[in-house]
Amino acid sequence: MPLYEGIGLGTEKQPVVIDIGTAYTKFGFAGETGPRCIISTEVMCQESGRIKKIFSYSNEEELYSLLVEFIHNLYFRHLLVSPKDRRVVIVESLLCPSVFRDTLAKVLFRHFEVSSVLFVPSHLVALCTLGVSTALVLDVGYQEAVLIPVYEGVPVLHAWQAQPLASQAVESNLRRRLAGPEEGELSPHSRISESTIEDIKVRTCFVTSFERAHKITAGQPDPPPPSVSYQADGSSTVDVPGSARETAYEILFEQDGDEMSVSTMVLDAILKCPVDMRKELAENILLMGGTTMATGFKARLMSELKYLVTTPKYAKHLAIKVFKVHKPPAKENYVAWLGGSIFGGTDVIVTRSLSKEAYLKENRIPDWANLMYNCREDDNKSANL
């Protein structure tokens, strides 16, 4: 008997919704307004006794064992329900590696014997939280920023953008700025744990304004904000300079050698879309992912977009002057999970889920990147003949 049965959807028990991110995993029950828990995507390695991240696997066998341990913790330590009793909704990125999807399905169907699994794209189901069918969805998580335009419920795949500009890059930049001139092994800040760096980033750092950032780039910075003493543990403190607090997130907006940044990703994606889509996409921008929750991120992004459209690179091709950002009914770090929760509360969970019987018969899952599932029905008939 589970500890908590929830509201229930008719006579069937609530499906479980899982959003496995690179750094954090959100999970709970379909039809609810928020996940039950948000935990790190990691497990205790039985062999070494150390914490190991799920996405740091070296081969498929290791990934399988890591997922078995991780999913077991989700069901029996946090949700306290039997996996056989409930359907599963997996919220995933469209760019999720096939080996991860296949291994996850194998774990759920063969090890935990779930009745059905529904894979839903995070960029698409996030629109369920807004009740719109068209938006430019930018997901800035831990490892990378992925942008996919969605028009009338259809992802515009040829216009997708992805860059390694996310929380991991911010934390690496912050670590370098804390080390200062003492770069290397001799610097005490170089030995700060990843969890401490992440906490310093969240508690003390912010995205500076567009005007102050340009003054810093021009070598004429305004006086920096005050420094902060961060209590790392019971015996040591970390002095976080005001300049490091203000410039930690600049790596997301500074253009690299290819003139790419989080801001240019938005404009480049709009340029790759047909002309009649561009205005509507620019006025329906949805930000999600934990990195977008940083103080000042939205205001800085809007200022960057308004400035970049006036530069020669974009002024000749884009006549857009107005950009608008949606405010979702949830925190940005679990907007995709909430979309999966809404999606899993409908009849789609029954009509479109992959059942255990179908998986055991075919031993594979549908994948949009596989031409076997991504062609017209008459083409499939011709191929079979």
Structural domains of the chain, count: 3
Beta bridge partners of 273: none
CATH number at residue 318: 3.30.420.40
Residues 153 and 273 in one domain: yes
Q: What pLDDT was estimated at residue 378?
A: 55
What is the spatial distance between Cα 295 and Cα 227, in angstroms, rounded to a whole number?
17
Beta bridge partners of 246: none
Q: How would residue 10 be classed by pLDDT, with cut points 50, 70 and 90? A: very low
* Parent domain of 67: 16-127+333-384
Task: Convert 340-352 into a string of H (helix), E (strand) and C (coil).
Answer: HHHHHCCCHHHHC
- pLDDT, greater one: 124 or 179: 124
Tell me the torsion sign for CA atoms 333, 334, 337, 343. negative
What is the spatial distance between Cα 374 and Cα 379, in angstroms, rounded to a whole number?
10
Q: 160-164, 247-251, 369-373: which range is least confident on average?
A: 369-373
Domain annotation covers residue 184? yes
- Eight-class DSSP state of 354: E
- The helix/strand/coil state of 60 is helix
Q: What pLDDT was estimated at residue 385?
A: 47
Residues 105 and 75 in one domain: yes
Q: Read out DSSP for 147-208?
A: EEEEETTEE-GGG-EEES-SHHHHHHHHHHHHHTT--STT-GGGG--HHHHHHHHHHH--PP
Q: What pLDDT was estimated at residue 267?
A: 95
Return the residue matching tokens 């008459």: 378
Residues 36 and 80 in one domain: yes
> Quick check: 238 and 201 in contact, CB under 8 A?
no
Please compute the mean of the pLDDT values over residues 226-235 and round it to a whole number: 84
Residues 172 and 158 in one domain: no
Token output for 300: 């800085």
- The helix/strand/coil state of 215 is helix
- pLDDT, greater one: 50 or 274: 274
pLDDT tens across 171-228, in order? 999 999 988 655 444 455 557 888 899 999 999 999 999 999 999 888 888 899 999 9
* Final residue before a domain boundary, out of 252, 281, 312: 252
Residues 121 and 230 in one domain: no
Residues 121 and 20 in one domain: yes
Q: Read out DSSP for 125-156?
A: HGGGGTT-S-EEEEEE-SS-EEEEEEETTEE-
Residues 139 and 108 in one domain: no
Q: How would residue 49 be classed by pLDDT, with cut points 50, 70 and 90? A: confident
HSE-up of residue 61 (Cα within 13 Å, Cβ side): 0
What is the spatial distance between Cα 194 and Cα 302, in angstroms, rounded to a whole number?
30
* Final residue before a domain boundary, out of 196, 219, 252: 252
Residues 265 and 143 in one domain: yes
- pLDDT, greater one: 313 or 372: 313
Residues 160 and 274 in one domain: yes
**81 residue type, one letter:** V
- pLDDT, greater one: 236 or 210: 210
- Eight-class DSSP state of 5: -
pLDDT tens across 20-35, in order? 999 999 999 999 999 9
